[in-house]
Structure 1
Amino acid sequence: MSTSEVTGVSALVSAQLPYLRRYARALTGSQSSGDQYAIATLEAVLADPNSISAAPNPRVALFRVFHTVWSSTGTPVAEADSRLSAAAQAHLAALTPNSREALLLQTIEGFSLPEVGEIMDLSSDEATELVAHALREMEASVAGRVLVIEDEAIIAMDISGIVESMGHAVTGVARTHAGAVDLAARDKPDLILADIQLADNSSGIEAVNEILGQFDDIPVIFVTAFPERLLTGERPEPAFLINKPYTEEQVRSAVSQAMFFASTETLTTA
C-alpha cells in the first residue's frame, strides 16, 4: 500500500474514532475497557489497512473490525471491580446474545439494519430481531428516578415523556446549573440526562460534575448538539452521549443502557 493510501486510511479512521470510542464505552460499560477495545481495533487496522481502504463503506468496515476483535474475546463487559460493574455482568447473563450490540449500532451510532447485519455477520432480518429483543429486555431490566437538565422547555418535556413512558419517574427538570444541583440534593436521582449549555449560559457539564461530587454512583447521559466538546479523548468522558437532534429510539436505548450498567440499590430489578 502506498504512503498516500495509508494516509487516506488514517484520515478515515481518525474521523470515526470518537464515535467508535463512544460505542465501545457504551458496550463495555467502562471508559477504560472501551478504549482498550478501540486501541485493539486500530492495531488490527494497521496490520491490515486493506480491511478499510478496500471496503465500499469504510465506517461500516471499521466497526466490523471492532466486532471481530470484540467477538474474539468473548464480548465481556468491564472487569467486575465494583458492585456496579458486578451488577451489570449479572444482568448481561440474562440478555439475548448480541442483542445489545445490535441495538447500540442502530440507535446510537445510526447504522441501518442491513449495515448492522454486515458489521455483525448477520442478515438484516436477524439484526432487526436482535434490536427488538434488546429493547424489550433492557427496558424490563431496571426502573429508576431520572433528573432532566435541559433549558429548552419543549425538549425537556419530550425527554421527560420518553423517560416516563419507559416506566421511570422524573424527579424534576432543571434549566440552570444552580437549579440542577438543588434538585439533585433534594431528591437524589438514579440517572441524569443533561444538556451541556443551559439557560443562564451556565454549563451542564459543571452542574453534573458538582452533583457527582456529592454522589459517586449516578450514571449520566449528555444530550447535545456539540458532541465534539465531550469526545475529546480527555478523561473523564461520558459513557453515554446523544447528538441533537435526537430520536426517541436513541433516548430509550441510552437510558436503558445507562440504567442497566449502573443499577443501584434504589432501582427495581426484574
Structure 2
Amino acid sequence: MTHVAWPRSRPHLPFLRRYARALTGSQAHGDNFVRATLETIVASPESFPREVDPRLGLYRTFHAIWSSANIEEGDEPTNSIDGNEGIAHARLSRITPLSRQALLLTSLEGFSNEDVAYLIDASPEDVESLVAEALAEIERQTHADVLIIEDEPIIAMDIETIVRDLGHNVTGVAVTRDEAVAQARKAPPGLVLADIQLADDSSGIDAVKDILAEFSVPVIFITAFPERLLTGSRPEPTFLITKPFQRATVKAAISQALFFDTATVPAG
C-alpha cells in the first residue's frame, strides 16, 4: 500500500504544508505535523483511507495526528525553532481549534462542507456553524494598518477593497521593493500582503526581508506558484495565498496571520 498511497498523495503535499503552517502559525511547527503525517503513512500504509480521493486521505491522516496531539496552552511543541507557538498557545482560548480548522479548510483549501465534515468528524451542519463562529471572531479581531506590495493595479485594488471591507486601514500600495521599504518606514504596518514578482523585476520576498529587518510584522505572500514556496526544505512563508484568489481566502489568511500576531519568515 505504501507504493500506492504515497505517490497518489505526493502532489497534494505542498498544500498540506500551507494548511499546516496557517493552522499553527509557524513553518517549523506546521512542517513537523506534516512530517509526522508522512511517517504515519509509511509506517502504517494499511491505515491510509482507501474510500476517498488521495487529497482527502492525506488531510484525514493529518487531522488524526493533529487531534491526538492534545496541545495545551503553555506546552512546548516538539522540534520548535521559533517563538510563534508560545503566542499561538496563549491565544487558543479566543477561538476554538475546530472553528479555525473549518474556516481554513473551506476558505484556504477549498474543501466543501461535506469534505470538511469527513476530515474533522463532524456533520456538514456543524461545519457551517463552526465557520460562522470563526467569522464572528474575525469581526471582533483588532484592526490593523496594512501595507500592500503588488504591482498589478487591478489585483492591488481588489486586495485593498477586501482589506478595507474587513475594517483594516491600508497605509499604502507599493509596486517595487524600494517603494515598499520606504512606505513601511514612513508608516510602520501591522500586516503586510506581498506579491512575489514586482514591477521592476525586484522581489517581494526581498522587500519583506528588508522590512522584517526593521519591524516585527506578520506577512502574507501572494503567488501564482505556491508549490515553489512550499517545499519544506528552507525557511519559507507561513501564510500563502494562491492567485487567482477568492475573497474568502484572503479574509481567512488575514485573520489567521493577525491571530498569531508575529512576524513570519519569508523564503530565502
Shared fold by TM > 0.5? yes
Bigger mean CA offset, 196-205 vs 7-16: 7-16
Matched, 1:73 2:72: no
Secondary structure in structure 2 of the residue aligned to 1:234: coil
The 5 A counterparts of 1:212-251 are 212-215=212-215, 217-251=216-250
Cα distance in 2 between the residues matched to 1:150 and 1:28: 26
The amino acid of 1:101's aligned partner reads: Q
Deviation at 1:228, TM superposition (A): 2.2
Cα distance in 2 between the residues matched to 1:226 and 1:76: 35
Cα distance in 1 between the residues matched to 2:132 and 2:57: 24
Q: Could you say what the CA RMSD is over the residues aligned between the two structures, in angstroms?
A: 2.1
Matched, 1:197 2:197: yes
The 5 A counterparts of 1:56-135 are 56-75=52-71, 79=76, 85-135=85-135
- Summarize deviations over 1:12-34 as a string: whole Å, max 9, x none: 22211111111111111111111
Bigger mean CA offset, 242-251 vs 6-15: 6-15
Contact 1:41–1:66 (Cα < 8 Å) also in 2:
yes
Cα distance in 2 between the residues matched to 1:214 and 1:59: 40
Bigger mean CA offset, 17-26 vs 69-78: 69-78
- Summarize deviations over 1:122-158 as a string: whole Å, max 9, x none: 1111111111111111341221111000011111111
TM-score (norm 2): 0.90
Deviation at 1:190, TM superposition (A): 0.9
Secondary structure in structure 1 of the residue aligned to 2:22: helix
- Summarize deviations over 1:218-265 as a string: whole Å, max 9, x none: 11101111112211223211111010110000000000000010169x
Matching residue of 2:158: 158
Kindly tell me the number of residue pairs found equivalent between the two proteins: 259
Matching residue of 1:40: 36
* CA shift in 2, pair 1:53/1:130, >3 Å: closer
Secondary structure in structure 2 of the residue aligned to 1:93: helix
Deviation at 1:83, TM superposition (A): 7.6
Matching residue of 1:267: none
Secondary structure in structure 1 of the residue aligned to 2:217: coil
Unaligned runs of 5+ in 1: 265-270
TM-score (norm 1): 0.89
**Which contiguous aligned blocks of 4+ residues in structure 1 show a shift greater than 2 angstroms?**
50-53, 75-91
The amino acid of 1:107's aligned partner reads: S
* CA shift in 2, pair 1:122/1:159, >3 Å: same
The amino acid of 2:204's aligned partner reads: G
Secondary structure in structure 2 of the residue aligned to 1:147: strand
